[in-house]
Structure 1
Amino acid sequence: METTADDTTPARLKGTPSWLLTHTATHAGRLLWEAFGTTDARRYHYALLAALEEFGPASQASLGRRCGIDRSYIVGAINELAAWGLVERDPDPADRRRNVITLTPAGGERLRELDEILAGVQDAIFAPLSSEERDQLTRLLARVLEHHDHRRGPAM
């Protein structure tokens, strides 16, 4: 007889929201990695493109802070996006030591492609939930995250 996680996981764990959240996040991360990976994209690429579209041009440092990407990774991530023609990096006219990153039209198009991929992943992850339940879950998770936001480290 084959065993499943439900057969072997203690009921105490299965009834704990933090355990459920952790395991759901693991599955979600894997699905997103696989889906974005088919296009050579990563979560941090999506985060950077989304931030640039929503907030406009920004320094590398401010993008890293806004997206929760560690300083040691931001330059490499921007280099990848620039090499693909999705962003432009120019010296900041106000401070030549800084670079300003700008979303290109190709970057905006790429973001829309990644939005579609992400929507498909969201549908796969939350297939058992109705639209109303998804909205409720999103609100509840946002509230919990906001409560703990001061403790949050790098997101990517």
Structure 2
Amino acid sequence: MDSTDDTPPASLRRLSSWLVSQTAAQAQRIINERLATAGARRYHYSVLSALAEYGAMSQAALGRHCHLDRSDVAALVAELGGQGRIDREPDPADRRRNIVTITAAGERFLAELAALVAEGQDELLAPLDAGEREQLSGLLGRVVTHHAEQRGYGW
């Protein structure tokens, strides 16, 4: 074999774990590039998506839904709040806690980001037809759910 050939060994290419990690790396690259065109990162999309789906919640709950560290949530809330995309108000029941809500500007921004993410999904999954995409998502969802349940948290 030519030393300039960069094909990974067949023993790696047969491993589902290796293929998933290679796919994840491509997915991160593609989605990050798409979101960057709007001045956003994937955490912006995650936080806005959670607020749009679940409604107003504490910063702690937001972190749990998005699997983010508390300090990261605080920084994201401050950043998105400064951009007018979310509101943060003290919880009337517990002034030590903040309640976060998405604003109309945040909903518009989320729609823009969702379109970019959809384009990225299409780019990533270009070799698959609609049925194969659905099957892949279903299988990966089962794996993720299984391991989440094994660790004691749901999905």
Q: Same fold (TM over 0.5)?
A: yes
Structure 2 counterparts to residues 28-107 of structure 1, below 5 A:
28-107=27-106
Structure 1 distance, partners of 2:151, 2:13, is 25
Matches of 1:99 and 1:12 in 2, distance apart? Answer: 51
Q: Measure the CA separation in 1 of the matches of 2:152 and 2:71.
A: 18
CA shift digits 1:55-93 (9 cap, x unpaired): 000000110011101112110011111011000000101
Q: SS where residue 127 of structure 1 aligns?
A: coil
Identity of aligned residues (%): 47
Structure 1 SS opposite 2:39: coil
TM-score by length of 2: 0.92
Tell me the amino acid that sits aligned with residue 103 of structure 1: I
Gaps of 5+ in 1: none
| 2:42 aligned partner, one-letter code | R
From the superposition, tell whether residues 132 and 5 of structure 1 become closer, same or farther in structure 2 (CA, over 3 Å).
Answer: farther
Deviation track 1:80-126 (CA, whole Å, cap 9, x = no partner) reads: 11011000000101111100001100101111100100000000000
Q: Does 1:146 align with 2:145?
A: yes
Post-superposition CA distance 1:113-151 (Å, at most 9, x none): 001000000000000000000000000000000010144
| CA displacement at 1:34 relative to structure 2 | 1.0
Alpha-carbon distance in 2 for matches of 1:134, 1:81:
32
The answer for the alignment partner of 1:110 in structure 2 is 109
Give the length in aligned residue pairs: 151
Q: Which runs of 4+ in 1 moved over 6 A?
A: none
Which amino acid counterpart does residue 70 of structure 1 have in structure 2?
D
Q: Which amino acid aligns with 2:85?
A: L
Q: TM-score, length-normalised on structure 1?
A: 0.92
Amino acid in structure 1 at the alignment position of 2:65: R
Separation in 2, partners of 1:4, 1:107:
47
Distance, in Å, in 2 between the alignment partners of 1:102 and 1:109 is 14
SS at match of 2:138: helix
* Displacement after TM superposition at 1:5 (Å): 3.8
- Give, as a single letter, the amino acid of the residue that structure 2 aligns with 1:87: I
C-alpha displacement at 1:38, in angstroms? 1.5
Q: Which runs of 5+ in 2 are unaligned?
A: none
Letter in 2 for 1:47: S
Aligned residue for 2:118?
119
Please list the CA deviations of residues 1-47 of structure 1 after superposition, one character each: whole Å capped at 9, or x if unmatched: 794543xx110100110000000100110111111112111111101
Distance (Å, rounded) in 2 between the aligned partners of 1:61 and 1:120: 31
